[in-house]
Amino acid sequence: MKNFLNRFLRLNDTTVPLENKLSDIVTFGTFVSVGVGLIQNIAIGIHWFVNSMLGGTMLISAICFYLSRYKNLFREIRPYFLATIGVFLAISWFANYGVRGPSLVLMAMFAVLGALLIKKRGNTLFFIALALLSTVLLLIELYHPETLRVYQTDLQLQLDLFNTYIFGIVFLALTISFFKSSYEKDREVLIQTTERLERSQEEIIQEKEKAEKAERAKTEFLANMSHEIRTPLNSIIGTSDLLNETELTPRQQEYLETISISSRHLLSLVSDVLDMSRIDQGRLFLESQDFQLSTLMNSTLKLFSNEPKIGNKQLALDLIIAPDTPQNLRGDAYRLRQVIVNLVSNAIKFSNNGTIEIKVAKKAVQIPGKICIVFEVKDPGVGIAEEDLPKLFRPFSEIKTATQHPFRGAGLGLAITHTIVTKMGGEIKVESVLNQGTTFTFCVQLEAGIPLIQIPDNRGGEEGKLADVYPLSILVAEDNILNQKLIVRIMEHFGYQIDIVDNGNEVIQKLAQQDYDLIFMDVQMPELGGIEATRALRQLNTAQPYIVAMTAAAAPEDQEACFAAGMNDYVVKPISMTKIRALIPKWKEGVEKVKSEK
């Protein structure tokens, strides 16, 4: 019988909410107990009016049980169920001989039912209402005793009281027993579920730790690969720049252009992969430095002078900077240049002839403390289909067009561009019409900068005057023989005679022999690396030089490690003549500052 009731009332079904089970138990228990009470009332000859109240209670209980058990309307039926039972009890108060009959027992049972069915926040209101109802009924009984129905015999009264007590206790006991059984079953399931969740959480933590270790290993691998790839690229690009300063035959110039374009494209791919890795880890940070807008734009577009389409006059680059655009700005010039290079590269890639317009202007609406600069890159290329526009800024996504390019790319440029622009407080938009061209527009938030000293870009060996304007004694610590030759040639080109050592130990030995104004310190070297050598050097009681890190690892944590060790600045490989020319005045100023602090 118990198993049947468990199945019928779904007490062992953990998918049924506990409050639903409670409604089923109470409504079904009320129906059964009232039915038994009706039978015993008929047997002892209780008045028909009382029995009609019991019959109405049975009908309401059956309807409510059906709605709760089969329609899952347990929340909706509870108030109506209790209200109807309360009305029947109030009417039967007088038919059951008031307080001297079973009315108080029935009221007590009704109070228990209300406590089980009503939520905690409604319990107080329910019991206040029940107390008021009982008080009103008692006062009516006291002042109008004629309203009470008197039992025909004392035996009839005693049997009715006895039966009401017995069945009331049995009903409450069974209801609470079934509820407790269901609660314990659900609690057992909950404990088992909690234990499984805890085990799963431990497994998730272990998997998270494994993933973090794998991510760190991937980061270290990418950093090492970046260093290893950038080292030969440094030599290739730097040597190409030096070779471009010499007299070449047209065929040699063509070969040199191929080398330059290929090496820079490879460097761009390496940088994109590293940047995407940093973006995935949330470790792409922006720097802040002063720069001149027109100089940045002109030097950036100059990078495309060796592009075949530009050199053969198929395409022209037209830079238009609005007259009221601020020139001296402060922000991450490197990342801004990266965005412009990506957009112009794509414009060249997907255009065959015409003019690519690059427009720069100040945005009319400004944010306090910021200068909003708007850039527009418009090309006359093949355009992009409307359905392909949403794919543009997704990683590893490239739009297929009829125009082919010798370098397909990794599909990362625009995804990185979107991230950089967003980090710089702006947004990027694109408009395109097939076979008519594409226009990329983006804005960034910058700050007002200070004017910079500009070094003329003279050719024909006149850069040697740079050493006369900014005289420096320079030591270079670099273990790669190709990079050694390259930096010697670059510095000779500017008129500097430098010393070269292979590792950090030799740096310390050199400083014991003579003083240097400036040291270019490679970070990764045998025996003693640049970080360790700088720490040791800063402990020496000798004239302290201005130390510039030379590193292929350009992540923020790598830069912070350089500064924490005592380095004054850093330059990211590959090192070019353009970088050296632009930074020598800054380093000379730093050298003078170090000397003044001695």
Based on the domain organization, do 314 and 374 belong to the same domain?
yes
Q: Round to whole Å and give the CA distance between 498 and 519.
A: 10
Residue 455 lies in a domain: no
CA 357 to chain centre: 35
CA 552 to chain centre: 28
Domain containing residue 491: 462-596
Condensed to tens digits (0 to 9), the pLDDT of residues 67-77 reads: 888 888 877 88
The predicted structure's pLDDT at residue 320: 93
Based on the domain organization, do 427 and 472 belong to the same domain?
no
Residue 475 lies in a domain: yes
The predicted structure's pLDDT at residue 464: 44
List the helix and strand counts (H, then E) for the chain.
18, 12
Residue 243 lies in a domain: no
Cβ atoms 263, 237 nearer than 8 A: yes
Q: Round to whole Å and give the CA distance between 548 and 562.
A: 9
Among 418, 448, 478, give the residue marking a domain's end.
Answer: 448
pLDDT band for position 2 (cuts 50, 70, 90): low
The predicted structure's pLDDT at residue 378: 94
Based on the domain organization, do 500 and 588 belong to the same domain?
yes
What does the angle CA 100 – CA 167 – CA 67 come to, to the nearest 5 degrees?
A: 110
Based on the domain organization, do 146 and 45 belong to the same domain?
yes
Condensed to tens digits (0 to 9), the pLDDT of residues 4-25 reads: 766 777 766 767 776 787 777 7
Based on the domain organization, do 498 and 547 belong to the same domain?
yes
The predicted structure's pLDDT at residue 407: 40
Flag whether pLDDT at 410 surpasses 50.
no
Cβ atoms 133, 86 nearer than 8 A: yes
Tokens of 463: 């850069």
pLDDT band for position 409 (cuts 50, 70, 90): very low
Based on the domain organization, do 506 and 441 belong to the same domain?
no
Based on the domain organization, do 359 and 490 belong to the same domain?
no
Pairing of strands 518-522, 569-572: unpaired
Q: Round to whole Å and give the CA distance between 149 and 151.
A: 7
User: Cβ-count burial of 89 within 10 angstroms (0-12 exposed, 13-18 middle, 19+ buried)?
Assistant: buried
What CATH number did the domain enclosing 514 receive?
3.40.50.2300
Flag whether pLDDT at 404 surpasses 60.
no
Close Cβ partners of 179 (under 8 Å, ≥ 6 residues apart): 21, 22, 25, 116
Name which residue leads in pLDDT, 332 or 311.
Answer: 332
Cβ atoms 552, 225 nearer than 8 A: no
pLDDT band for position 236 (cuts 50, 70, 90): confident
What CATH number did the domain enclosing 381 receive?
3.30.565.10
Based on the domain organization, do 514 and 591 belong to the same domain?
yes
Based on the domain organization, do 467 and 513 belong to the same domain?
yes
Condensed to tens digits (0 to 9), the pLDDT of residues 144-190 reads: 888 887 777 777 778 777 777 777 777 777 677 766 776 777 777 77
Percent of the chain with pLDDT over 70: 85
The predicted structure's pLDDT at residue 278: 63
Residue found under tokens 């510039």: 548
Flag whether pLDDT at 1 surpasses 70.
no
> Which of 585, 582, 586, 565 lies closest to 521 in space, CA to CA?
565
Residue 467 lies in a domain: yes
pLDDT band for position 556 (cuts 50, 70, 90): low
Extended strands (E) in 149-250:
none
Q: Round to whole Å and give the CA distance between 287 and 330.
A: 9
Close Cβ partners of 242 (under 8 Å, ≥ 6 residues apart): 486, 489, 490, 493, 577
Residue 240 lies in a domain: no
pTM metric for this prediction: 0.48
Q: Round to whole Å and give the CA distance between 425 and 48.
A: 83
Flag whether pLDDT at 377 surpasses 90.
yes
Cβ atoms 342, 399 nearer than 8 A: no
CA 435 to chain centre: 38
Based on the domain organization, do 156 and 293 belong to the same domain?
no
Number of domains in the chain: 3
Residue 351 lies in a domain: yes
Q: Round to whole Å and give the CA distance between 255 and 550.
A: 29
Tokens of 554: 């350009």
Residue 154 lies in a domain: yes
Q: Round to whole Å and give the CA distance between 266 and 271.
A: 9
Based on the domain organization, do 434 and 474 belong to the same domain?
no
Coil vs helix vs strand at 175: helix
Flag whether pLDDT at 333 surpasses 90.
no
Q: Round to whole Å and give the CA distance between 348 and 380.
A: 9
The predicted structure's pLDDT at residue 375: 95
The predicted structure's pLDDT at residue 61: 83
Q: Round to whole Å and give the CA distance between 240 and 267.
A: 14
Residue 453 lies in a domain: no
- Give helix 103-117 / helix 18-44 axis angle, nearest 10°: 170
Condensed to tens digits (0 to 9), the pLDDT of residues 200-234 reads: 888 888 888 888 788 777 766 766 666 667 667 77
Among 199, 218, 239, give the residue marking a domain's end.
Answer: 199
Partnered with residue 374 across adjacent β-strands are 361, 443
> Which of 548, 550, 570, 568 lies closest to 559 in space, CA to CA?
570
Q: Round to whole Å and give the CA distance between 105 and 88.
A: 14
Among 130, 165, 199, give the residue marking a domain's end.
Answer: 199
Widest distance between CA atoms in the chain: 134
Q: Round to whole Å and give the CA distance between 433 and 439.
A: 9
Cβ atoms 521, 550 nearer than 8 A: yes
In single-letter form, the type of residue at position 73 comes to: L
Based on the domain organization, do 338 and 364 belong to the same domain?
yes
> Which of 150, 159, 80 lies closest to 117 in space, CA to CA?
80
